[in-house]
Amino acid sequence: MSRSRSGPFPLLRRAPSANGQIRLDLLGNPYGPSVHVQDALASCDDLHQPAGEREIRLHLRLANLVGVPPGWLTLANGIDELLHMVLLWRRESGPLVLFPPADPQEEHRARLHRLDILRLPRRDRFALPLDPATVASVPARATALVASPHDPSGTLLGSQDVVRLARACEMVVVDERHTEYSARTLTPFVREFENLLVLQTFETWAGLAGLPIAYAVARPEISADLAHYRRPGGVALGAVLAAQATLDDLAYVRGTVQRVREEKSRLYRTLRKLNMVSVPYPSWANFLLARVERGGAALFARELGRRNIRVHVPSHPDLGTDHLRISASSPDATLALKRALIEIAAPL
């Protein structure tokens, strides 16, 4: 565990995990969860029991942190469960509007719940296609699902786009699973629009993918409708304890998030100097999307894998086959990536 302090950030208790591989394909915080999470779980002898009052206390604490009344917030066992709840609730309404390229799981969920899909492909630099003609073609009862920051580009949903979507669709769902890395959220807009639902999670920025817990922020009438589709047992006690422990250690966890942000800036500067990839797209998440200029993304991903460095090749036809999504981790990881890319590109 690291004991060094650098700049204004809290003392780090652990370094990014390596385990023999450099994982630049993952979306979670490379520093992992707060050590308080381990302590909270180790000291609990009733993890097999429902969370009960402890879930209620977490609910109240999160509502206070977000700045909304408790009735405006709905807890669930991770953001995937929240999205399934949303689609179950909206399956009798109009189509689900998606904005590819995006996570293939979006379409998978829609097909699983037998929703019609309306695809509106993103335009230059991943901007949403929300010109008047396109907006007018969206059915009035549609549900729009947008990730902000967007995976794999890291772009944000702008306030003007929120307004256009809210006017065009019966419901707008914003997936903000990476928002802690951007320090920008659309949750204030739920007070202005009766048809806006914002989803956030501890899974990515707080390193709690193994103890998934997420929440939806919306007006109380929407929250009440969504709550009908919650799992009967509520949120798992382990996840509740992990979230509480994270909030108890919030300064430290946010310090690691800031370190990842700083490393993303270093990663951006490193990649832009290399001629085998294009200048990465500006990103508000903890990853960058770069286009491979020589050799193809599959070749670079394969050769990096042989050097124990893993990156993600987005699988969406609208992106083609020449993009890599690379997550920020640590200075050592960035340096290893740089050396490997130069070595792979040398004979090309």
Distance between CA atoms of 348 and 345, rounded to whole angstroms? 5
Q: At what angle do helices 35-42 and 237-248 cross, to 10 degrees?
A: 140
Distance separating alpha carbons of residues 65 and 68, to the nearest angstrom: 8
Residue finishing a domain among 248, 278, 294:
248
Same domain, 174 and 308: no
Are residues 28 and 73 both part of a single domain?
no
pLDDT, tens only, 296-331: 999 999 999 999 999 999 988 878 889 999 999 999
Asked if 206 contacts 230 with a C-beta cutoff of 8 angstroms, the reply is no
Answer yes or no: do 164 and 116 share one domain: yes
pLDDT at 8: 53
Output the average pLDDT for the chain: 93
CA 64 to chain centre: 22
More confident residue, 131 or 318: 131
Residues 149, 243, single domain; the answer is yes
Same domain, 263 and 236: no
Q: Is residue 332 part of a domain?
A: yes
H or E stretch including 74?
strand 73-76
Domain presence at residue 14:
no
Q: Is residue 312 part of a domain?
A: yes
pLDDT at 11: 66
Q: Which residue has the higher pLDDT, 11 or 255?
A: 255
Question: So what's the pLDDT on residue 320?
Answer: 80
Q: Do 236 and 256 reside in the same domain of the chain?
A: no
Q: Residue 341 maps to which CATH number? A: 3.90.1150.10
What confidence category does residue 31 fall into, taking pLDDT thresholds of 50, 70 and 90? very high
> N- to C-terminal Cα distance for the chain?
40
pLDDT in tens, 95-110: 999 999 988 899 999 9
Cα 19 vs. chain centroid, distance in angstroms?
24
Structural domain of residue 256, as residue ranges? 22-33+251-345
Domain C-terminal end among 225, 248, 271: 248
**Residues 235 and 290 occupy one common structural domain:** no
Q: Using the 3D structure, point to which of 233, 248, 263 is the last residue of a domain.
A: 248
Determine the pLDDT at residue 18. Answer: 56
pLDDT in tens, 239-275: 999 999 999 999 999 999 999 999 999 999 999 999 9
pLDDT at 223: 97
Residue 194 DSSP code: T
Q: Are 189 and 40 part of one and the same domain?
A: yes
pTM beyond 0.85, yes or no: yes
Whether residue 172 is found in the same domain as residue 278: no
pLDDT value of residue 317: 80
Neighbours of 80 (CB within 10 A): 16
Answer yes or no: do 133 and 42 share one domain: yes
pLDDT at 1: 33
User: Pairing relation of β-strands 171-175 and 287-291?
Assistant: unpaired
Nearest to 12 by CA among 256, 190, 326, 320: 256
Domain count, the chain: 2
Query: 118, 139 in Cβ contact below 8 A?
Result: yes
Write out the two tokens for 310. 């893993």
